[in-house]
């Protein structure tokens, strides 16, 4: 079994953000039809690697699990040595706590910080080869499929809204293909692209395949 850190090409000291970026990069690298693995791995091997990557992310993105993993393999991450449990949260809360902001702003920032943490605590469903195949093969991305993928990836609409700053009503309308509510075409294109990126789909493919954008 490959070490999770070397699988994602990060060090045991990697920050949470490093883990997230490395995970996205790995998923992109080992996706089906990836050019970068051409002639080295078969489809089956690739699927196995993707599962490994998912497993690595599930462990490394979870503070408790990561700590247990580090202990098991004898890694001493810098964060654990000094402050113990709260170091991770402290790093993200730093700006809000250090500056001595007024109470209202403070709670707002704190709420945002919570969202950041929450965003990356996704709980994806188990690997679903059928859906993965459909995603790969899809030429059309109707709202229903987008929704299915989003749920499969364990991303809530609120997460997407918080991250992209697109209002949740638009996001709902995108999934429902509710043309009456959807914004003008030019905006919609951008929104659909951003939304697609949030659920790890290729934005341009989704924009091309989103039916309401294809009626003239």
Partner 1 sequence: MTEGNTVMQPGAEPARPRIWAVGGGKGGVGKSFISASMGVALAKAGKRVVLVDLDLGGANLHTSLGIRGSRFSLSDYLSGKVADINMVAEQTDTEHLRLISGAGDSLSIANIQFFQKAKLLRNLPKLDADYVILDLGAGTSFNTLDFFIEADHGLVSVTPDPGSVENTYRFLKCVLIRRLRDVPKQARESIQKVMSRRREAVGTVGSLADFVEEMARLKPGVAGTLRRELDAMKLHIIVNQVMEPSDTELGPSMQMVCSRYFGTHISYLGFLHHDKMVLKALQQRRPFLSTFPQSRLAIHIDTMVASLMAQEDVESITTGDGT
The interface with partner 1 within residues 33-62 (CB under 8 A) comprises: 34-40, 49
Q: How far is the CB of 129 from partner 1 (least distance, A)?
A: 22
- Scanning 21-29, 65-73, 127-135, 145-153 for contacts with partner 1 by CB under 8 A, the matching segment is 21-29
Distances, alpha carbon 197 to alpha carbons 8, 87, 120, 160, 192, in Å: 20, 29, 14, 10, 9
Please list, in sequence order, all residues whose beta carbon lies within 8 angstroms of the beta carbon of residue 152, skipping any fewer than 6 positions away: 124, 125, 128, 131
- Scanning 4-12, 94-102, 117-125, 181-189 for contacts with partner 1 by CB under 8 A, the matching segment is 4-12
Q: Measured from the CB atom, is 110 or 189 closer to partner 1?
A: 189
Q: Work out which of 15, 29, 61, 156 binds partner 1, going by CB under 8 A.
A: 29
Q: Measured from the CB atom, is 6 or 107 closer to partner 1?
A: 6
Q: How far is the CB of 28 from partner 1 (least distance, A)?
A: 6
Beta carbons of 43 and 51 less than 8 angstroms apart? no
Name the phi and psi angles at 141, rounded to 5. Answer: -120, 75
Distance between CA atoms of residues 132 and 99, nearest Å = 45
- Scanning 1-9, 67-75, 81-89, 149-157 for contacts with partner 1 by CB under 8 A, the matching segment is 1-9
3-state SS assignment for residue 4:
helix
Q: Measured from the CB atom, is 47 or 49 closer to partner 1?
A: 49
Q: How far is the CB of 18 from partner 1 (least distance, A)?
A: 14
- Scanning 6-14, 75-83, 164-172, 178-186 for contacts with partner 1 by CB under 8 A, the matching segment is 6-14
Q: How far is the CB of 202 from partner 1 (least distance, A)?
A: 8
Distance between CA atoms of residues 147 and 176, nearest Å = 9
Three-state SS annotation for 80-114? HHHCHHHHHHHHHHHHHHHCCCCHHHHHHHHHHHH
Question: What totals of helices (H) and strands (E) does the chain contain, helices first?
Answer: 13, 0
Asked whether position 9 contacts partner 1 by CB under 8 A, the answer is: yes
Asked whether position 7 contacts partner 1 by CB under 8 A, the answer is: yes
- The residues that touch partner 1, with contacts defined as CB under 8 A, are 2, 6-7, 9, 25-26, 28-29, 34-40, 49
């Amino acid at each position: 079994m490959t070490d999770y850190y070397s699988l994602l090409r990060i060090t045991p000291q990697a920050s949470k953000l490093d883990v997230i970026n490395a995970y996205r990069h790995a998923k992109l690298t080992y996706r089906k039809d990836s050019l970068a693995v051409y002639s080295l791995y078969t489809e089956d091997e690739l699927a196995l690697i993707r599962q490994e990557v998912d497993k690595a992310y599930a462990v490394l993105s979870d503070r408790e699990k990561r700590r247990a993993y580090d202990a098991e393999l004898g890694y001493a991450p810098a964060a654990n040595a000094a402050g113990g449990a709260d170091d991770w949260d402290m790093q993200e809360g730093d700006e809000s706590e250090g500056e001595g902001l007024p109470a209202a702003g403070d709670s707002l920032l704190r709420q945002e910080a919570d969202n950041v943490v929450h965003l990356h605590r996704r709980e994806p469903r188990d690997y679903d080869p059928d859906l993965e195949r459909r995603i790969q093969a899809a030429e059309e991305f109707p709202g229903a499929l987008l929704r299915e993928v989003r749920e499969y990836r364990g991303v809530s609409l609120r997460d997407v809204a918080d991250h992209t700053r697109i209002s949740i009503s638009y996001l709902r309308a995108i999934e429902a293909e509710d043309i009456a509510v959807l914004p003008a075409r030019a905006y919609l294109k951008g929104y659909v692209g951003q939304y697609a990126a949030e659920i790890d789909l290729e934005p341009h493919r989704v924009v091309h395949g989103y039916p309401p954008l294809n009626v003239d």
